[in-house]
Amino acid sequence: MAIKDRMSGNEAVAYAIRQVNPDVMPAFPITPSTEIPQMVSTYIANGEMDTEFIPVESEHSSMSATIGAEAAGARSLTATSSAGLALMWEELLLASSNRLPLVLTLVNRTLSGPININCDHSDGMGARDTGWIQIYAENNQEAYDNFIQAYPIAEDKRVHLPVMICQDGFITSHAVENIELLEDEKVKEFVGEYEPEEFLLNPGNPIAVGPYSISNYAMEAKKNQEIAMENSKEVIIEVAEKYRELSGRGFSLFEEYRTEDADYIMLIMGSAAGTAKQAVDDLREQGKKVGVLKLRVFRPFPAKEIAEALKNCKAVAIMDRCESYNGNGGPLGGEVTSALFRFKVMIEAVNYIYGLAGRDFTVSDVCGIFEELEDMIVNGTEIEQFQYIRLR
């Protein structure tokens, strides 16, 4: 029987961590993720879980300790945001290349400068090529659901890669919403016990983790890591289906909202997808054929699946909550247009930048973007690429 409650996104993730009860959690505070280790440490102090909590002196140390614990054979995790993730950069690459199935709960916040504590996706997008699986949430419910699915994905023998569970800073992390929670026993059964085949503290089978690799072997290790990322797509879908059977909720790589007959689609990620869905509902009442494709899994990037989902529309707006500083748009813009070209889906695509450092993104903004797409198709009006929404 589902447990109905009201929680912030940070509370929901901390509650999921308590239910999973991992072995080790090193952590260092940084806004807006600080509440997660704070709440977990309170659960531990109250005797509600027996995770070993390790306070450290920096985010670099936090990820280092998480890697060490995971390599030793313990199910491990940490949490961070923004500059904390940037400080972990070296360690992120070590976690994935050493094939350690640990979990990081990332509360997305803009990277400096200028200094700002509000939401965009520049931290997660900055780490997009570090070899981590990345899963994004629209709301508090999805932040909770995604975390529970993280370890079954990461620890699958076909994968063995770290997973980043992402939610939008303050927008979901601190806002309180209605939520449905699973019973502790069901979560424990779904996640299962971690039984690593090889680990440092196994006296019967000594191994080395992270040794120097000469050129004759390093390239093969990198290819195996890429194969694991490719394999993870299938595993994510399998785990999502099992979770749907358990909870009645969820979807796999992305969600298609009213896209069946849509002429114009907005591709978007994170909390702003809810804003886009509301605009679609409003425009549908006016007879406009519009829809939303909400990307849930950014890594591995579902290129073929996205191209297939978009092939019947006339135009797509690709929404980036991050700037790549490459003179050619945002990360999503580059990946989606590449997918469309590779799979020979020749539709119009416009890349927009929105919501940087917490800038508002409203229903009227979404309606205006759909209006631009329609004007481009119907009247041949040329639309500026990479325009910033609500730029002063």
Q: Report the pLDDT value the prediction gives residue 157, as an integer from 0 to 100.
A: 97
Q: Please say if the pLDDT value at position 113 is more than 90.
A: no
Task: List C-alpha distances in Å: 220 to 71, 223, 372.
Answer: 21, 5, 47
Residue 358 sits in which domain range?
254-388
Task: List C-alpha distances in Å: 188 to 16, 26, 51, 152, 351.
Answer: 10, 21, 14, 11, 42
Structure tokens at 58: 């920096």
The reply to whether 186 and 267 lie within a common domain is no
The reply to whether 78 and 165 lie within a common domain is yes
- Domain harbouring 284, CATH code: 3.40.50.920
Q: What is the pLDDT of residues 269-303, one digit of tens each?
A: 999 999 999 999 999 999 999 999 999 999 999 99
Cα(154)–Cα(161) distance, integer angstroms: 5
* Alpha-helix residue ranges (DSSP H) falling in 72-205: 82-87, 89-97, 122-126, 140-154, 184-191
pLDDT bracket for residue 110 (50, 70, 90)? very high
Taking the CA atoms of residue 150, residue 156, residue 159 and residue 165 in that order, the dihedral angle to the nearest 10 degrees is 0
Q: Please say if the pLDDT value at position 250 is more than 90.
A: no
Look over the chain and give the mean of its residue pLDDT values, rounded to a whole number: 97
- Domain harbouring 121, CATH code: 3.40.50.970
The reply to whether 268 and 222 lie within a common domain is no
- Please state, for a pLDDT cut of 70, what percent of the chain lies above it: 100
Q: What is the pLDDT of residues 9-54, one digit of tens each?
A: 999 999 999 999 999 999 999 999 999 999 999 999 999 999 999 9
Total structural domains within the chain:
2
Q: Report the pLDDT value the prediction gives residue 251, as an integer from 0 to 100.
A: 86
What mean pLDDT do residues 144-164 have? 98
pLDDT bracket for residue 2 (50, 70, 90)? confident
Task: List C-alpha distances in Å: 106 to 17, 58, 88, 327.
Answer: 13, 16, 12, 27
- Amino acid letter for position 190: F
The reply to whether 237 and 324 lie within a common domain is no
The reply to whether 236 and 260 lie within a common domain is no
pLDDT bracket for residue 1 (50, 70, 90)? confident
- Amino acid letter for position 349: A
